[in-house]
Amino acid sequence: MQRVRPERPGDESAIAQVNEAAFGRPDEAQLVAALRAAASPFVSLVAEDADSALTGHILFSPVTVGDEERLSVVALAPMAVIPARQRSGVGTALVQHGLSACRAIGVGAIVVLGHADYYPRFGFAPASRFGLRCPYDAPDEAFMAIELIAGYLEGIEGTVAFHAAFADL
C-alpha cells in the first residue's frame, strides 16, 4: 500500500535519502534543500509504504516565463522513487497527487524537463506548443507543460526561468 502526503517537518533527511538513492548522487537532494529554504509556492509531497518508510518524493517550485512574473507557473522537479520501488506506481501516484495539490493552490500551469514517454500520460505536451522555451539544451519533446487552468498560457511565450537554486545543479 502506498500513501501520498505533504512533506512535514522531520521528513528532510528521509527525502534527501530518497533523492540520493534515486539519482545516485547528492545534487538533487541539495536542490530540494535549497528550494525548501527559498522557494514559494513550494509543493513537496512524499510517498510512504505501510511501515511509513518514504519510497518517493516530488517537488514543485515557481518559475517565471519571459517577463510574466504574475503568472502562477511551477516546475515539477525533482521527482524521485527509491530504486526498489521504481515501476511500481509510486511515481504515478506522486504526479497525480502533485497535479491535484497544485490545482488546489491555484497554479495555472506546470513545466517539466523529463522523459518524453512518461509525462504525456498525465496530460503533459511539448512546452513549445504553448510558446515556452527551455533554458537548457534539451530535446523539444523532453521539455513539457500542462495547463491546469484551460487556456492559462494562451498568448504567453518566452523562455522559462527556473528558481535560482537550479543554477547549482
Q: What is the DSSP string of 69-130?
A: EEEEEEEEEEEEE-GGGTTTTHHHHHHHHHHHHHHHTT--EEEEE--TTTGGGGT-EEGGGG
Q: What residue ranges define each of the domains in the chain, with the CATH number in brackets?
A: 3-168 (3.40.630.30)
pLDDT at 5: 97
Phi, psi of 168, rounded to the nearest 5 degrees: -85, -5
Instruction: Say if strands 109-113 and 43-48 run parallel, antiparallel, or are unpaired.
Output: unpaired
* Spatial distance between the Cα atoms of 77 and 69, rounded to a whole number of angstroms: 19
Which residues, given as ranges, of the chain have pLDDT below 50?
Answer: none
Give the model's pLDDT for residue 1. 59
